[in-house]
Amino acid sequence: FAKAFVLVQLSMLLVSTSTVLTQLHNEALPPHPHGASHYPALAPSHPQGHHHIPPPLPHHGHPHAPAPAPYHHPPTHAPAPAHPLPRPPFHFPRTLIAVQGVVYCKSCKYAGVDTLLGAAPVSGATVKLQCNNTKYPKEILSKTDKNGYFFVVAPKTITNYGAHKCKVSLVSSHIASCSKPSNLHYGLQGSPLRPEKPFTSDNVSYVLYTVGPFAFEPKCPL
């Protein structure tokens, strides 16, 4: 019984001594005003050889652009002309033809110059209509009136379909001081016919053509 009592006393002494040592240790440490500090935990390192897959980005619901329409090659067309094409000349039905024109005498001021400035009409001048669209050429002579105007009807064998083979030229002037034919508007070598308009005379249809105007050169004093 005495041994048991001694063991109990020793146990109590050890417990008291341990308690005193613990209190002394706590008093020796400096106080922590904000409580215990904790160091930030380090992120776990990934083992070598493994790649971190980023999380998918959030989807905001933006509308997708519509897919482009399939491309179709346009049909091949001839390119449009940069300028509109001129209208083709109007062709009259087949009719007889007549030709008109005026003959002048040039002014001495402009002798030898292709101009009619200061010119005066010549009456009684002779012109010739010549057509080469038949086996034998046709020639018709005509004279000018007091205004220098002439009007000649072609033979009935000549129609507007063959007018492009006709021409008119100067022949002579009854004025001695103005009798040299000039080539103004091809009065010397022959002028082609220019279609003007259709007309009717004595119930006969014609197409009227124009040439010239023509001119003779004057003899001017030196």
Q: What residues contact 103, with CB distance under 8 A and at least 6 apart? A: 121, 122, 125, 127, 144, 148, 150, 170, 173, 187, 212, 213, 214, 215, 216
Q: pLDDT tens across 59-75, in order?
A: 555 555 555 555 555 55
The domain containing residue 151 runs over which residues? 104-217
Task: Give the residue, 192 or 55, on which the prediction is more confident.
Answer: 192
Give me the helices (H) in 29-135, please. none
Q: Decide: 125 and 172 in contact? Cβ < 8 Å.
A: yes
Per the domain annotation, does 95 fall within a domain? no
Which of 7-16, 24-33, 115-124 has the weakest average pLDDT?
Answer: 24-33
Q: What is the pLDDT of residue 84?
A: 58
Question: Across residues 102-113, what is the average pLDDT?
Answer: 94
Structurally, how many domains does the chain consist of? 1
Q: Which amino acid is at 145?
A: D
Per the domain annotation, does 136 fall within a domain? yes
Q: What is the pLDDT of residue 67?
A: 59
Q: pLDDT tens across 168-216, in order?
A: 999 999 999 999 999 999 999 999 999 999 999 888 899 999 999 999 9
Q: What is the pLDDT of residue 202?
A: 86
Task: Give the residue, 24 or 200, on which the prediction is more confident.
Answer: 200
d(CA 50, CA 48): 6
Question: Across residues 6-26, what is the average pLDDT?
Answer: 61
Per the domain annotation, does 172 fall within a domain? yes
Per the domain annotation, does 76 fall within a domain? no
Per the domain annotation, does 160 fall within a domain? yes
Q: What residues contact 98, with CB distance under 8 A and at least 6 apart? A: 151, 152, 153, 154, 199, 201, 206, 207, 208, 209
Q: What is the pLDDT of residue 209?
A: 97
Q: Write out the two tokens for 189.
A: 């070598």
Per the domain annotation, does 198 fall within a domain? yes
Per the domain annotation, does 129 fall within a domain? yes
Per the domain annotation, does 28 fall within a domain? no
The label of the residue with tokens 């005495």 reads 2
Q: pLDDT tens across 114-166, in order?
A: 999 999 999 999 999 999 977 778 999 999 999 999 999 998 888 899 899 99
